[in-house]
Amino acid sequence: MHAGVYLDWLEAGYHGEMAWMARPDAVRRRLDPREALIGCRTVIVATLSYSPDDSSMPGPAPAENDRGQPLIARYARGIDYHDWFETRLDALADDVRSLDPDARVRRYVDYGPVLERDHAQRAGLGWIGKNSMLISPELGSWLLLGELLTTLDVEPDPPFVPDRCGTCRRCIDACPTDAILDDRTIDSRRCISYLTIELRGSIPVELRPAIGNRVFGCDICQDVCPWNAAPQPGDPTALVPGGHAEFPAMQEWAEALLEMDRDVYREAYRGTPLARPGRDAMLRNLCVGLGNSGDRAAVPVLRRCLADASELVREHAAWALERL
């Protein structure tokens, strides 16, 4: 996302409730890495591929047509990648310091104010696709990005100039909530990943049917991308499955979460991406998924959700019951 597009994106309010993205200090650091690391001369960008070793892509995930099963974004089906990626970046930072012991280095793994896809394109790793994802000709878009900011002056790689999306609109046309904008950015307020992970409040009623059984994140725009048809396999050690790699059916999952309070949930999902939304938001998502399932066998668990202490859960359970 180039600086001008980023500022226009914020001005339009497309970041939704992610207020930290619009904080003045965060904006300054995104626009100028020297605000994040005084004396910064170089941004080193690394990719972590979680591309499935599966030649059947693109296409729907196995549970796509089973409305009783939850759909989880691919990156979230194992452990939280941050720790693994940070360890690799720390080793790379040691290599940088070996070139100059006085060099200062600061790392980021998608949690810092860095225009990471813009830097990745300028580093020659790929181009920013119409779905706003970085797309590598070899690896597709199943990529996580990490950065090292350093005071070491390194000769830059040539940028990746070609736009290889061409006239393709598969990601735009496939998005069920029309979240993909013409300037290669996302209206987060309509994005299923945002709605099921970052949004803390109520999911807009008009968008709930389009979410289907996606209870954590969304891969639709990547599933349909031709550049993901046969990517090189990713690192098999990158996202080692955690304790929740196999997910129960939505009814069973909702019943289990109803027995947990927020602290128990946090401990149960510690070290996995599913810790981020918290117990109430995950139950909210499951209620939406059950409401979209068309399965009246979900009525008993949804009625239990109507008595939950969380108003958020109760509201979405009532919607789901009405929909069924």
Which residues are tagged catalytic?
110
Q: Burial of 182 by CB count in 10 Å (0-12 exposed, 13-18 middle, 19+ buried)?
A: exposed
* Chain position carrying tokens 């170089």: 42
Distance CA 318, CA 113 (A): 39
- DSSP, residue by residue, 305-324: HTT-S-HHHHHHHHHHHHH-
* SS3 letters across 25-65: HHHHHHHCHHHCCCCCCEEEEEEEECCCCCCCCCCCCCCCC
3-state secondary structure of 176: coil
Q: Calculate the CA dihedral of residues 192, 138, 160, 82 and round it to 10 degrees.
A: 50
Q: Locate the DSSP E strands across 204-281.
A: 214-216
- Burial code (b: 16+ CB inside 10 Å, e: under 16) for 289-321 equals bbbbbeeeebeebbeebeebebebbbbbbbbbb
Distance CA 65, CA 174 (A): 16
Question: What's the token pair of residue 279?
Answer: 């117990």
- DSSP, residue by residue, 138-164: TTBT-EEEEEEEESS--PPPPP----T
Phi and psi at residue 8, to the nearest 5°: -65, -40
143 strand-pairing partners: 49
Question: What's the token pair of residue 315?
Answer: 């509201």
